[in-house]
Structure 1
Amino acid sequence: MSKEITQSNTAMTPLASELFHGNVYKPNQGRMVRQLTALAVFVIVGLGCWRLYSFLPTVMNNAVVARSIAGVLLAAGLWFGFRVVNWPRFADFLIAVEAEMNKVTWPSKDELKRAAVVVIFTIFFLAITLFAFDVIWQFIFSTLGVTS
């Protein structure tokens, strides 16, 4: 009973208080989805800091300060990425996502090829049909003098 209460209280903690902990929430569950989510956050933060670092020297003359600002923001962003995937509410969501993805029945290679061919032909058919309607209506409107 106390374990359930502790877990439910942990799941309701706000993100701000969770940022200053170093523990990993449920480390053996949802590992793949959490690692990929953290990697995506790291890439976004890294690209943002790189862009900021390339922009800052045009605004300020001191390259050391520009490097320092970008470095501090990079470190803070990486820490935030690590902590957000271990925030109990978000971690439970990612764990549930991985559990649902494991239930999915993925198509075989042949089924995937057949479905892709059907989709591609349908798109081409619709594109040709819409093009024909466009040409027909353009001809009708130009004949009536609605368009020039």
Structure 2
Amino acid sequence: MSSKGAAASLIPELFRFGLYKPTQGRMVRQVTFLAIAMVVAFGCFSLSVGLLGGQTQPIRVGVPLAVGLAVCWVAFRVVNIPQFADFLISVESELEKVVWPGRKQVMQSTVVVIVTMLFLGLFLFGVDLVWRWFFSLINFIDYE
């Protein structure tokens, strides 16, 4: 589908009120919408205190609120476009197949990561000391 065809199919979708396959992929669709809504909320807040900071109170509140509501409606409709909704439904079905680790395995893996990072930090500190000593020995850099 060309970009012109995709845009043409998006326009009618924005004015629909029904949900596409409402019982399938609900969790992933809701999380996707909430993530988009949070980004929009931060953007509207930035708009209010940034670009519109010197305006009157109705403009500082009204414009970001109108923009936020419009973009949230678009986000709500986007997660219900059949192609995107089918993708999110398949994402949720794949997530249901994941075997999540237990508490003991998470704790063990966390300890391994922390110990590895500590050793890596110590190793890099040692390498830095060696290079510092070498560069000061050949008078390439004068450390004080």
TM-score higher than 0.5 here? yes
Give distance in 2, aligned partners of 1:118 and 1:64. 54
Give distance in 1, aligned partners of 2:19 and 2:63. 28
How far 1:76 moved relative to its partner? 0.2
Give distance in 1, aligned partners of 2:70 and 2:83. 21
- Please say if 1:107 is aligned against 2:101: yes
Give distance in 2, aligned partners of 1:113 and 1:64. 51
How far 1:16 moved relative to its partner? 2.8
- Residue 42 of structure 2: aligned partner: 47
Structure 1: segments with no counterpart, 5+ residues:
1-12
Give distance in 2, aligned partners of 1:114 and 1:71. 46
How far 1:51 moved relative to its partner? 2.3
- Residue 33 of structure 1: aligned partner: 28
* Richer in helix (by share): 1
What is the CA RMSD across the aligned residues, in angstroms?
A: 1.8
- Please say if 1:21 is aligned against 2:16: yes
Give distance in 2, aligned partners of 1:53 and 1:95. 36
SS of the equivalent of 2:72 reads helix
SS of the equivalent of 1:26 reads coil
Please, which moves more after superposition, 70-79 or 31-40? 70-79
SS of the equivalent of 1:142 reads helix
- Please say if 1:146 is aligned against 2:140: yes
The one-letter code of the counterpart of 2:81 is W
Q: 1:57 to 1:113 in 2, by over 3 A?
A: closer
Structure 2 length as normaliser, TM-score? 0.85
Match of 2:113 among 104, 112, 119: 119
Please, which moves more after superposition, 28-37 or 44-53? 44-53
Of all paired residues, the percent bearing the same amino acid is: 42
- Please say if 1:95 is aligned against 2:89: yes
Number of matched residues?
Answer: 135
Please, which moves more after superposition, 120-129 or 65-74? 65-74
Structure 1 length as normaliser, TM-score? 0.83
SS of the equivalent of 2:136 reads helix
Give distance in 1, aligned partners of 2:49 and 2:27. 33
Please, which moves more after superposition, 69-78 or 118-127? 69-78
How far 1:71 moved relative to its partner? 2.4
